[in-house]
Every structure is written in C-alpha cells, then in structure tokens.
Amino acid sequence: MRVASAPVTIEDVKRSRHLKPLSSEHHQALLVAFQLKKGLAGHSESAGAPRDLPGLVALARRFEEQVFRTHARAEEDALGKHLPEPELRRLSAEHAQLSRLVEQARTAGAAEQRAALGAFAELLERHVRWEERELFPFAEGHVDEPTLAAIGQEIERRLVAGAEGTKAARR
C-alpha cells in the first residue's frame, strides 16, 4: 500500500546556515507570488493582497526594489562564481526576466499589467523552488565549508547593506 506524503516545503529542507539569509527572503518571495496570484484571481482578501491592479503593481515594485534587486545581485556575485556555467546563466537570465516583468507591469496598460504580473508571480515561484531544491543543495554539496562560510558572510553583508540603503531612500 502506498502512503501519500506531504509536499516538501522550504521549511522542510535542511539549509546550510550560510545560505539561510537567502532562504529567508525566498519565503517573502513566495508570499508575494501567492498574493499576486490571489489578487489577480479576485481573491485578494484571502491572501492579504491589494484588491486593485495598481495595488498589485505596487506590491511587485516594492518587492523588486526593496528585496529582489539586492538579493539577486548577492546570489549572482557571491554564489555565482561557484556554480557551473549553465546554472549561473539560468540564475542571471531568470533574475533579469523577473525585473523586466515588473518594469513591464509598471509601464503597460491594464491587460498587459495583468499578464506581466501573472508571469512574474509564476516565474518567481518556479525560480525560488529551483534555487531551494536544486541550486542551493548543489552548492552545499560542492563548495567546501570555509568557502561556503565566506559566501555566507558576503551575502549577509550585501543583504544588510541593501536593506539599509532601501530604508535611507525611503526617508
């Protein structure tokens, strides 16, 4: 007899403490993707998402400006040099596509905004799942502990500096 197992979530994955700051931001990314999907489907109240299209665009822009830009740059710069070329290309290409979709949503008409936000939410979720399930485990298995610790310090430094820069810009 086969017993169905519960789906694996990010919380279930053992993550190196050096990559946990990125995983923590992945939780936030998945929440944004969920809120966008629910908001676009007309169920924003169940997700705590904005109820209108301008609010959903603002949610995606805020996430992109306050979290994603710094996050993506930290991953590419600190972790990227330790990845095989195909994975680094995918990482960079998906980060660039996510930024393009947010810009498209910001500047397009209503129908195009909906399409861009939907594509952004889908790609964001797929991208985070790929990083958590494949990319990070690869890095943890192929990078020695001292190098992983140095990567972690660099990532943490960049994320903290990015958060401080965002706070200063809002003042």
pLDDT digits (tens, 9 = 90+) for 77-125: 999 999 999 999 999 999 999 999 999 999 999 999 999 999 999 999 9
Q: How many domains, the chain?
A: 1
Residue 12 included in any domain: no
Residues 5-31: pLDDT tens digits?
Answer: 444 344 444 678 999 999 999 999 999
CB 117 within 8 A of CB 105: yes
User: Among residues 126, 30, 112, 128, which one has the least CA distance to residue 75?
Assistant: 128
Residue 144 included in any domain: yes
pTM here is 0.86
Q: Which helix (H) or strand (E) holds 110?
A: helix 110-130
Residue 146 included in any domain: yes
- The CA angle 137-142-144, to the nearest 5 degrees, is 115
120: domain CATH number is 1.20.120
What domain range is 71 assigned to? 18-170
Residue 164 included in any domain: yes
- Residue that is written with structure tokens 């993506």 in the block: 72
